[in-house]
Amino acid sequence: MPRVLLLGGSGAYALPKGALGERLSSRRVRTPYGLSNPVHLCENAGFRFLFLSRHGEKGYEKTAPYVNYRANIYAAKFLGVTRIVAWTGPGAISRKYRPGDLVLPDDLLDFTRNRPSTFYEGKGIGFLRQHPVFCGSIREALRSSAKRSEAGFHYGGTYACTEGPRLETPAEIRFLARSGADLVGMTLCPEAFLARELEICYAPVAYVTNYAEGVRKMPYRRGALFEGMLPPGEAAAVEAAKNAIPGIAIAAASAIAGEERDCPCAVSMERYRKRGVIGPDFRGWVAGPKGAGR
C-alpha cells in the first residue's frame, strides 16, 4: 500500500480530468470518530499514492468547521500512510502575496474554537513540541517542485486558521496581521496537529484564493465568489494555481517516497513509547476497547 497521502483542499473536487492520473480503487475507513472521507488509490506515471478530498467528492459539500479531521487522519494512519502532502486555499493578509500565488507556510496560528483537536482526550499523553510545525523533508521536496511552476512562489509564511465558515471581519484581519499572520484560512488546524500526534509527516502547499478583508479596498459584488474579495481579473491565475498543485504535490511525494524518515514528526511519541505508556499499535493509543478500522 502507498505510504503517501495527497490531502486535497478547496477545488480538489473539481480538478481537470487526469490531473491525479488513474484512479484504481476507493474505500472509506471506519474509525472511532466515524467514517473517513473516501480514500482513493491513484497512479500517476507509475507512482502510486492515496488521495482524499477534504471538503467532498462532488463539490464543496462540507465547510471547514465540519470536516471530520480525526477520522481522516486516523484513516491515513490505519492505511499505512507516513507522509501527508496537503493543500489549502487561504486569503492573503500580507501585501507580498496576491491571488494565484503559491506559498509553502512554515508556521501556524490556531484561532479555531469548536473543533475536536486531539486524539488523546482524557489521557495523560499528547504534550508534543510543535517545532518544526511542518515536516522539513516534505517542504524541501515541495520547494523543488513548486519552483518550476509559472505561479508566483513564496517559501515560508504564517497561516492563521480561523473557525469559519464565515469570512473574517476587517478588525479580525488587522488583529491577525499584528499577530504575525501572512495568510488566513480555515483548514490546517487541527489537521496538522493530529498528524503529529500519530507520527505522520505533514506539510501543506497553499494557493492564494483572494485578498483578506481590508487588505485592499474592494467593493461588494453581489453573488460573486467571496462577494468581491477576488478581483475578476485575477480569477484565472487562481484557477491555474489550483490546477498546478496536484502535479507539484505528486512530484514532491514521488521524490521522497523511498527515503527513510529522519525528522521529529516520525518520533513525536517516542517519549511515551520509552516510558511504556504506549505500544506499537497506534489504535491502542487512541481507540476504545473495541478498536476500529476493521
- Burial class of 283 by CB neighbour count within 10 A (0 to 12, 13 to 18, 19+): middle
Cell of 284: 491502542
Structure confidence by residue, pLDDT tens digits, 241-272 = 999 999 999 999 999 998 999 999 999 999 99
The residues spanned by each domain of the chain are 4-286
Distance CA 39, CA 52 (A): 5
Neighbouring residues of 148: CB distance < 8 A, sequence distance ≥ 6: none
pLDDT band at 287 (very low <50, low <70, confident <90, very high): low
pLDDT in tens, 103-157: 999 999 999 999 999 999 999 999 999 999 999 999 999 999 998 777 789 999 9
Does pLDDT of 205 surpass 70?
A: yes
Beta strands across the sheet bearing 107-111 = 107-111, 158-162, 183-185, 91-92, 210-211
| Per-residue pLDDT, 14 | 85
From 265, 251, 243, select the one nearest 8 (Cα to Cα).
243
pTM reported for the whole predicted model: 0.95
The pLDDT value recorded for residue 206 is: 97
Tell me how far apart the alpha carbons of residues 15 and 127 are, in angstroms, rounded to a whole number. 38
In CATH, the architecture of 4-286 is 3-Layer(aba) Sandwich (3.40)
Contacts of 140 (CB under 8 A, 6+ apart): none
How many Å separate Cα 194 from the centre of its chain?
11
Does the pLDDT of residue 6 top 60, yes or no? Answer: yes
Which three cell numbers, joined as nine digits, stand for 161?
486558521
Backbone CA torsion sign across 253, 258, 259, 264: positive
Please report, rounded to a whole number, the percentage of residues in the chain having pLDDT higher than 90: 88
* Residue 80 φ then ψ, to 5°: 90, 10
Report residue 37: phi and psi, to 5°: -65, 160
DSSP letter for each residue of the chain:
--SEEEEE-TTGGGPPTTTT-EEEEEE--EETTEEPPPEEEEEETTEEEEEEESS-SSS--S-GGGS-HHHHHHHHHHTT--EEEEEE-PEE-STT--TT-EEE--EEEEE--SS---S-TTSS-------SSS-HHHHHHHHHHHTTSSS-EEE--EEEEE--SSPPPHHHHHHHHHTT-SEEESSSTTHHHHHHHTT-EEEEEEE--EEPBTTB-----TTSGGGGTS-GGGHHHHHHHHHHHHHHHHHHHHHHTTSPP-SGGGGTTHHHHHTTSS-S-THHHH--TT----
Check whether 74 has a pLDDT greater than 80: yes
Whether the pLDDT of residue 292 is over 50: the answer is no
User: Which amino acid does the sequence have at 181?
Assistant: A
